[in-house]
Chain A
Amino acid sequence: MKGRGWAAGFLGAIAVVALLADVLTGDRPLMVINEGSSDELSIWPLIPYEAVLVDLSEPGLLPPLSIGSNGRHWLGTDPLGRDTAAGVVAGTRIAVLVGLGSLLIALVIGIPLGAVAGFYGDEGMKASRYTLYACLLGLPLGVIYTFTSLGGADIAGEWLLLSGLLVTACLISILWIALKLLSKLVAPLKVPVGVPFDRVVLFMLELTVSIPRLVLLIGLLSFAYRPSLWTVVLVIGLLGWTPVARFLRGELLRIRELPYIDAARIGGVGEIRLLLGHALPNAIGPVAVVAAFMVGGSILAEAMLSFLGLGVPAEQVTWGSLLQQSRANPTAWWLAVFPGVLLTLTVLACNSLRGKAGDL
């Protein structure tokens, strides 16, 4: 599908709808001018129904374009009298939330890992052995101590985090000083070695990729008594950072061979500034495209989960839950068609953005 314009425009429209969901739907007027007087003017939302508003006064399952108690049901209703159009708008909001939320988490994890693995590799960043050992020992010990000892005391969450960070930092510093003093006697400790960023990140990649995402989500969500959308967002984000990291790593592997990086290095730019200021800005562009693909995937995953009835509370309406309702009422084709069309268009838009990179 050519024409990148339509995809970006469509996704922008989706985001706008999600943002303005409360203005677009609702069963109360938005504004009433000259209330009480004879020329009272009330401004209603575009879809004069609330998504979760159950309307048992009419028989349920009204087809599209039928008149309801508040106005026309443009896309029909479900068995409980909830307006489908309002439900589609509510579903849009949830889709945008899930898509952007999991994207944020995946980027926060994937970009640093991919950048460091690609640019420094296994030999790029050098540190003396005592520094490495101090960090490797200090970090896990500090974290463990935070959870076992500090976690047992009755302190609030933020203080726990703060004190944990403090303890970990102190531990690493003490170990560093001790090992540095020891290195005066034991010579091998002073040797600068390459920090194996690439190996560690590749290992983490392999492990994360081997976790079955949907199956794990089904298992996790079913045992939470109060299903929450944030669990879905968190798990999708935690498992979805791999394509971002892989792609960024590949890009940086290519970029670090370019002459301008060497020129900057000779000019005296430090390694970290080299990565952040010189290499990363060039590599980020294509990553945005991979990220767009990930958004489509997570919206699809959320739709699958709510289709199965997991992940969102029962009364919340999403595209997937509307599809599930259509299974019980096959004659109500509007419940199956409209949310599905919207879902399809969203996924196609995300795919087409990715396709522009020439990958697919």
Chain B
Amino acid sequence: MIGPGRHTNYLLRRLAYLPVSLLLLSGLCFLIANAAPGDPVRARVAVAGSRSGSQDPLSYEISYRRAAASLGYNLPAFYFAVTNAAIPDTLHRIVNVERRRTVKALAQRYGNWPQVQDYYRAVLQLAFYDPAAPAELVAGARKLLVREEADYIARQTGGMQGPAARPLLVAYRKMLAGATPQRLLYPRLYWYGLDNRYHRYLAALLRGEFGESYADRRTVSAKIAVTIPPTLLLNGLALLLVYGISIPLGMYMAYYRGSRFDRWATVLTFLAFGIPGFWVATLLANFLTTPAFGLDWFPSMGFGRIPEGTAFLTALRIRGAHLFLPVLCLTYPSLAYVARHLRSAAIKELRMPYVVTARMKGLPGTRVLWKHVFRNAAFPLVTLLGGLLPALLAGSVLIEQIFNLPGMGQLLYSSAIARDWPVVTALILINGLLTILGLVIADVSYALIDPRVRLGKNTPR
């Protein structure tokens, strides 16, 4: 037997894709969560019951800063930052998103960070911390906090008069006079180390904490955990039915190739593969679960409540009635797909010389089919499994929505509509993880079953 070198090498290479893909997916989810509109700090401050910004701006400032620090929003975003020389390395300390954007635009336009900083500090001072300043100056300063257009600032500062506005005007003129816009062209690399938002996000992910939902402050993991059993049941049943029915179907379609059974089955599987699952689900839900046409045979809502102590058969009947239509709609497209693949693989195998030899030796046809042909034709089934899992999960989003099943797909949809980013990104991550797992398991199993793959020989893949 060939030594462990070559095939463990292959397996290790396949398994190495798992952490790399997961890391990239987590980075993608981090980007989505960051790019999402809305200010999570503001949401947290509002929930904490602080007074709104319009009534008492100073204390709102303080509580905003405290909330930002506790959520970690005053940290830099990543381990390092590549920017131009006009932007300082401490820009992340400005937590308010609009203010940070304004300061960044000003710094990039004038290039002299110390003067820009003095100007902005003067604006802040006038806006919040100068009790003796007249009201219109304070209002003007508050507007200047978030506006960065050059002509707007010129107009606004031109209209400011009085002793309270002097520091601001002096700082503004110094910023304009000492402008060094050429600093924009020099690149800079700032190193932040481990104390950054992405690292905290990653560490929390690895611990299994996904944060809190924006909608109801429950932990995201709790919300997702509740929805796992229905989705698992739905997809598990679908997977079982897909393989349970398509294996005999595909094999017998190949065995009786050309017969009336095969022709009909081919047409039916072609149709089943093409007709969209969610359309059939909509039709079935409209016609069979509502009293609209008098065919109210199936319950429309949810999962079915089983009261304590019902007999097993009754419980089965209730569950079955609720799950029959969803599982049907989820199963039939994948069933058709797998059956057709198996059929074409089996037809290829049935032409091979070893089948003819076995028949000539006197083995009955079905025994040849199941003991010999199946084992060779089943190779593509394993790789199909890898693609089947993400397809089922994606399909169950729509099926759960149509049949009102409280599963992961329904949670994804309702959180997406409600813009509940922690839940949405966590679900994307989990789905990605399951997809990658499915692919890796499929590849590794394929390598384990077929020795030709791991020994690097040519395979009929």
Roughly how many angstroms separate A273 CA and B36 CA in the complex, as a whole number? 46
**Chain B positions 341 through 352: 1 when the CB is less than 8 Å from some CB of chain A, otherwise 0:** 100100000000
B376 at the interface (CB under 8 A from A): no
Closest partner residue, chain A, to B390 (CB atom): A212
A330 engages B286 (CB within 8 Å) = yes
Select which of B82, B87, B286, B394 is within 8 A of A214 by beta carbon: B394
A30-38, A117-125, A331-339: which lies at the interface:
A331-339
Interface range on chain A (Cβ under 8 Å from partner)? 35 or more
B204 at the interface (CB under 8 A from A): no
When A and B form their complex, what is the total count of cross-chain residue pairs whose Cβ atoms lie within 8 Å? Answer: 156
Roughly how many angstroms separate A222 CA and B340 CA in the complex, as a whole number? 36
Roughly how many angstroms separate A113 CA and B131 CA in the complex, as a whole number? 65
Least CB distance, B208 to chain A, in whole angstroms: 20
Roughly how many angstroms separate A330 CA and B287 CA in the complex, as a whole number? 7
A340 engages B283 (CB within 8 Å) = yes
Known: A220-B32, A308-B398, A344-B274. Contact between A149 and B282, CB under 8 A?
no
A308 engages B186 (CB within 8 Å) = no
B118-126, B228-236, B417-425: which lies at the interface:
B417-425
Which residues 137-152 in A have Cβ within 8 Å of B in the complex? 144-145, 148-149, 152
B435 at the interface (CB under 8 A from A): yes
**Chain A positions 298 through 341: 1 when the CB is less than 8 Å from some CB of chain B, otherwise 0:** 00100110011110000000000001001100110100110010
Q: Which residues of A contact B285 (CB under 8 A)?
A: 327, 330
Roughly how many angstroms separate A307 CA and B413 CA in the complex, as a whole number? 12
B17 at the interface (CB under 8 A from A): yes
Known: A1-B267, A144-B82, A211-B25. Contact between A323 and B344, CB under 8 A?
no
Q: Which residues of A contact B292 (CB under 8 A)?
A: 330-331
B65 at the interface (CB under 8 A from A): no
Q: Which residues of B contact A309 (CB under 8 A)?
A: 417
A210 engages B431 (CB within 8 Å) = no
Q: Which residues of B contact A303 (CB under 8 A)?
A: 276, 278
Q: Which residues of A contact B267 (CB under 8 A)?
A: 1
B341 engages A360 (CB within 8 Å) = yes
**Chain B positions 255 through 287: 1 when the CB is less than 8 Å from some CB of chain A, otherwise 0:** 000000000000100110111101100110111
Least CB distance, B57 to chain A, in whole angstroms: 27
A219 engages B424 (CB within 8 Å) = yes
Least CB distance, B362 to chain A, in whole angstroms: 33
Q: Which residues of B contact A216 (CB under 8 A)?
A: 428
Interface range on chain B (Cβ under 8 Å from partner)? 35 or more
Closest partner residue, chain B, to A352 (CB atom): B270
Roughly how many angstroms separate A149 CA and B86 CA in the complex, as a whole number? 9
Closest partner residue, chain B, to A359 (CB atom): B344
B276 engages A222 (CB within 8 Å) = no
A209 at the interface (CB under 8 A from B): yes
Q: Which residues of A contact B344 (CB under 8 A)?
A: 359-360
B398 engages A209 (CB within 8 Å) = no
Least CB distance, A5 to chain B, in whole angstroms: 16
Q: Which residues of B contact A327 (CB under 8 A)?
A: 282, 285-286, 402
Known: A219-B416, A219-B425, A304-B398. Contact between A340 and B279, CB under 8 A?
yes
Q: Which residues of B contact A145 (CB under 8 A)?
A: 187
Known: A219-B428, A330-B286, A337-B283. Contact between A213 and B421, CB under 8 A?
no
Q: Which residues of B contact A219 (CB under 8 A)?
A: 32, 412, 416, 424-425, 427-428
B32 engages A149 (CB within 8 Å) = no
Which residues 175-204 in B have Cβ within 8 Å of A in the complex? 181, 184-187
Which residues 238-269 in B have Cβ within 8 Å of A in the complex? 267
Least CB distance, A88 to chain B, in whole angstroms: 14
A154 at the interface (CB under 8 A from B): yes
A351 at the interface (CB under 8 A from B): yes
**Chain B positions 336 through 378: 1 when the CB is less than 8 Å from some CB of chain A, otherwise 0:** 0100110010000000000000000000000000000000000
Roughly how many angstroms separate A152 CA and B337 CA in the complex, as a whole number? 51
Known: A307-B278, A344-B279, A360-B341. Contact between A215 and B419, CB under 8 A?
no
A211 engages B432 (CB within 8 Å) = yes
**Chain A positions 201 through 221: 1 when the CB is less than 8 Å from some CB of chain B, otherwise 0:** 000001101111111101111
A206 engages B432 (CB within 8 Å) = no
B397 at the interface (CB under 8 A from A): yes
B25 engages A323 (CB within 8 Å) = no
A355 at the interface (CB under 8 A from B): yes
A159 at the interface (CB under 8 A from B): no
B439 engages A209 (CB within 8 Å) = yes
Q: Which residues of B contact A51 (CB under 8 A)?
A: none
Which residues 264-299 in A have Cβ within 8 Å of B in the complex? none
Closest partner residue, chain A, to B440 (CB atom): A210
Least CB distance, A257 to chain B, in whole angstroms: 12
A207 engages B21 (CB within 8 Å) = yes
Q: Which residues of A contact B424 (CB under 8 A)?
A: 218-219, 222-223
Closest partner residue, chain B, to A307 (CB atom): B278
Roughly how many angstroms separate A300 CA and B424 CA in the complex, as a whole number? 23
Q: Which residues of B contact A307 (CB under 8 A)?
A: 278, 282, 398
Q: Which residues of B contact A308 (CB under 8 A)?
A: 397-398, 401, 413
Q: Which residues of B contact A222 (CB under 8 A)?
A: 416-417, 419, 424
Roughly how many angstroms separate A326 CA and B427 CA in the complex, as a whole number? 28
Smallest CB-CB A-B distances: 10 pairs? A222-B416, A348-B274, A330-B292, A214-B394, A152-B108, A340-B279, A330-B286, A212-B431, A149-B84, A330-B290
Q: Known A-B contacts: A330-B293, A348-B270. Give 10 more (CB < 8 A).
A: A144-B187, A153-B184, A213-B394, A219-B425, A222-B416, A222-B419, A304-B278, A308-B397, A333-B287, A347-B276
Q: A: which residues have CB within 8 A of B?
A: 1, 144-145, 148-149, 152-154, 206-207, 209-216, 218-223, 225, 300, 303-304, 307-310, 323, 326-327, 330-331, 333, 336-337, 340, 343-344, 347-348, 351-352, 355, 359-360
| 12 examples of A-B residue contacts, CB within 8 angstroms | A149-B185, A152-B184, A210-B25, A211-B28, A215-B412, A215-B428, A218-B412, A222-B419, A304-B398, A310-B416, A327-B286, A330-B290
